[in-house]
Structure 1
Amino acid sequence: MVGTQKWGRLSTRITVVAAGAVFVGFAAMIGLIVKMSYERAHEAGYKQAKNLAEGYGHQVAGDINRAMELPKHLAQVLQGLRGAGSADRKLADALTLKLLDNSPQVVGLWTLWEPDAFDGRDDAYRLDWPKQDPTGRYNIYATKNQAGRATADVMMSKDRVAQFEAYRANPEAYQPDYEKPGWGDFYYTPKARNRDTITEPFPYEVQGKMLLESSLAVAIRDASGRFAGLAAADLSLEDLQKRLGVIRPYDTGFVQLVSAGGLYVVNPDASTLGKPVAKDGALAGHLDKLKAGKPFVFQDGGFTHFFTPIAIGDTGQFWSLGVSVPDAAITAAAVEVRNSAIAIGIVALALILAALFAVVRVLTRPLNHLADTMEGLASGQGDLTARIEVANRDEIGRTADAFNRFIASLHAMFADVREQSAAVSRAAAQLAASADEVRVASAQQSDAASATAAGVEQVTVSVQHIADTAGQAEQMARDTGKLSDDSVRVVERVTADIGRINDTMHGLAGRMNGLGQRSEQVTGIVQVIKDIAEQTNLLALNASIEAARAGEQGRGFAVVADEVRNLAARTAEATVKISGIVTAIGQDTNEAVLEVQRTSRLMSDSVEVAREANGTMQHVRERTGDLVTRMVDIAASTREQSSASVEIAQNVERISGMAQANGETVAEVAAAVAELTQLSAKLERLVGNFRL
């Protein structure tokens, strides 16, 4: 996790990416330098080795060509003698020895002529063995003794000289071996080519010592251009081996010299001298270039072999001198340059990375400060008073400035949130207090409504009783009317009936007095209901005001408060109506009481004035009709009062239910206010985590 966090840092990623880019750049640069160094080193090594090969080749060519001058000089001398008519063999021998004494670069000097081509006296020398062979042709083979002095030697070996005896009697039949390929290549090949020739290396005994040598043969031609013989110098290849075989270019290199026929003339391995190049060797594939006199280069066995052609006089033949240089020596300078470049690159890379790391640390320091501040804000414990120092106006500086402005905006916003949160908390406290008051008032209203309902129920029962009594009174009034109508016929019984009526009227008077008192009680109850309705209206109005202050959260409570206020208003209106009706009932009841009392008095007097009943019966009937009418009205009013009382009871029951619902709503409001208070406190705690 820590490694992931470290890798996630911007400075680390920038450093790693930049380091990778720098590393790739340096690697590419070093690779290019090494490649160019290798190419230049190879080129320089090639050039140096080539120059070395050409230098050694020029030396060998110079030595061979200087040695080639000796047989040319001998050929000219002998041709001069022959042309002057002084072709004397002894003189020619002396001149040959003289020339050899003055030529240290060769080990032998010889000449061999075609039959009778030198002096025309071959027959005279057919038996001059071993100096001459049975052909009698002129030849001399001069070599140097151990003292380095030129002496006449025998061209033919002892075995061949021994064969001469077989031809003593008939020397003309002798066929010399030098006219045949193989052993006689030193003469046969130049004669066949009819031009100057350097022979392939061959072993030959000189002064009793076997030497590896090549003959530098110069063709002698007569006046017609025909081949007349050879003048040749024997070049000891051992001298070249001693001189070139010890050369070690770059300490481990070596020098080779290969003849035109592909035989080793010089080689570090002396056992290969005079032997052909291995057919399976790398050099065998280049023999055609060697014979054509073309330079060539090839690599084999960790060495680069540079071969340069050596032109031998006018022979038209080419030997090839090769300088073999170890590849490591050629690339040594490149390796040194590579190692130096790598070392310098590593040091430079380390310095650049150190500088890059320091620069990235400096450049990303504001970003680190910004990240730390943002992490503090993200954890809810941020310091909103902190500001990042803006040192410059680059992208980081602009980001820091924008962050400072963002923090300033957050600071102002959180300060405002804190103030608003405190205001909400205070408003919630006030709303909670108001809700509690409404709850208490609703409870009181509910209790009052319950009490009112009980009172109204009692009023209803009383009114119903009044209605029943009024009905009875109505019936009695009707009966009285009938009696009045029949009074004329039953006047005799009036006294008794009036007595009973008198008693009844006394009872009715008591009841009517009770009804009046009940009406006054109903009026008091109605006044209480009216007072409750007014108080409910006032409380509902206060609740609406508090709900309006609470805003959106008090909207539902405001609706309930409006409904309660409307119901209170309707209750007040109904109470006013009830009050009017009860007042009317009271007035009618009082009047009825007065009438009953007056009737009672009349009835009391009727016994005494029975005799006067006939006269006054009409008047009584009229009064009784009025009483019936009024009793009908009282009965109707009482029935209406009974219906109103029932409606009032129902309304009071609804008010009680609404008061209970109001109490429940107020409880919900109180719970919402408590939750709002908790949220406000939590908001204040969250805002309090930030330093403002």
Structure 2
Amino acid sequence: MKLDFQKRIVYPLLIALGLLLGISAFLVGHAIYRLKSEQVLMESRSVVQSRAREIETFLTDRARIPLTVFRSPFVLDWFASYDQYRKPILHDQEYQKLVLFFRRLVISDPAIKSVFFATENTGEYFDQDGRFEQAGYDAKERPWWQSTLEKGRLYCDLSGIDYEDSTHAATLQMPVYREDGRLLGVAGVDISIETIANVLSRVRYHGLGEPFLIDEDGHIIEFPSMTVILSWLERLNDLEGKVPGSKGLSVLAQAILSEGEGHTRIVWRDKKQIAFYTHVTVPEADVRWRLGLIVPERVLTTPVYRWMAVTVMVAVFMIAVILVFSFRITTSTVRPLGMLASRLHHIAHEECDLTLEIPVHSTDAVGETARNFNALMARLRELLRVVIINTRDVASGTRSLKGQSTIMTREAGEMSHVIGLITNVSKKMVETIESIGKAADNVAILSKNASEQMGSAEKSVSERIREMVTINGQLQDMQKKMDRMNHKSDNIEEAMRMIDDVNKQIGLLSVNAAIEAVNAGELGKGFAVIAEEIQRMNTGTEEANKHNKKLIGEFRSEFHVFHERIQTICDQVSSEVGSFRDIEKTFQALLKSIRNSDLAAARLREHTQAQMKAIHEIKLNLQQIETATSVISETITRSVEMINGVDARVIDLNRSTEVFKIEENEGVHRLDKELV
């Protein structure tokens, strides 16, 4: 039994555990390999990126020099005023300051080889040494002049050569324009390639690697380890044929120009290498270079393989230790389990003796299992005793359920009758509420018609009020005009009094003229005629004046009466306007009341609809209750059938319990005959 159990359980378990640990070790090792590889690649890439940022900072700082210097008003004004070829300037103080300024810029920064400016006016070339005095030299005929104008901005030119030492230089040059947009010249600074090479020489990974710098077209700017065999601005993919034992440089060049940042594997001088590359971008100078570092693959893989070897050894040791301990533990467990299996076989197949217990020989998990098994047998014996008692109770309960089921069936019929009566009452309530809803709709229609009529009446009253207000205004304007006419009649009356005074004076004058004419005798006859005519005119004027006074008096009297009537009409109109406003307020109050009635009718209609909905729901619920009552009745009938079936199963259960032995000297007591 022990050997068979060990073959079937222990050995497969140990084999599965070994495989699981082996797979786990492989996965962990693979994960460590990947993590370490990524760590090494990230470190290498970080070294290249940090050096690329140094080169970007170096170029950015130098690019600010022409952008700052050749926008200075002092520099621009002097070159704008210089418009004569070979103009004598040796004793020009401004010229000396300009040359000294250029010279200080060169001295202050060892990376700068020269600062220059070529003028559009004369085509001459100026740098820190002054004006270039070579006869026939014209800067505008140089290739760099045309390329700078084509670029139209600050950029880095790699085709320049320093004429002092015939070395190559990187030139940051740009066109310079006047304020009015006209070209003033081309200016720039020459940067030593050796300075860039010194920065490039610090690009190493743990002291190893060969750095290189190329432009955006794939031309090699600097490759310190290949200076002997390289020509200036040679392409990177051309090295594959010049460097023996090198492969993959064309793929590397294509990847660098297309991706800008990353790494790829190549063969360099018959050794496997990894080339890391990143971009060197200076927007101020239109620089889009690429920095690369070729590192031996062994530098990257050696730490990874070392970690892998340590991981494998630790995993093998742990697997061996775990397997040994697992074998010892399973072997010590098999022996008591075999004894436990034989006891269980005896209980299960030979006889159903629940009084049989398993002997306990240890305090470990197996001994605890045996104790738990003995407790389980005791618990089963107790449960069987409870089952016997409960079976007797179930039999008694089934008889009681039969009587209660009959009563419930009768009550369910009575409930169905009551539900039918409630349904009839709810139908009548629905009819009543529907009539109330129709009445509410009629009230709403009447309220709406009354509201429309009152609205039109209110509009008519408002229009009458506006018309009477207009008439009142016109009457008041008329009253004001009549006041002005009354004032003018006073002026006319005053003028009539003045005319009376003048007539009196003319009358006295005519009398005096007549007296003087009498005193003059024959000579005064002509004058007497004039005096008589004046007297007659005075009399006519006096009569006309009296007639006018009478007319004016009558006019003033009638005007006063008319004025009083106008005032009375104005007062009446104002009173009527007030009355109409009261009527308008009354109409508005009535209209508000009608609208409130309309709202109340609407609420009543909503409430009736809600009540109808609620009654419909009650009706549906009653129908559901009626249906449920029918279902309950059917369920009770089925329950009676099930109770009969339970009664039969109780008898079968009694027969089944007779098989088990739960006491030492006696079997299970039989149930009372009443169960049958």
TM normalised by structure 1 equals: 0.41
Q: Which has the larger radius of gyration?
A: 1
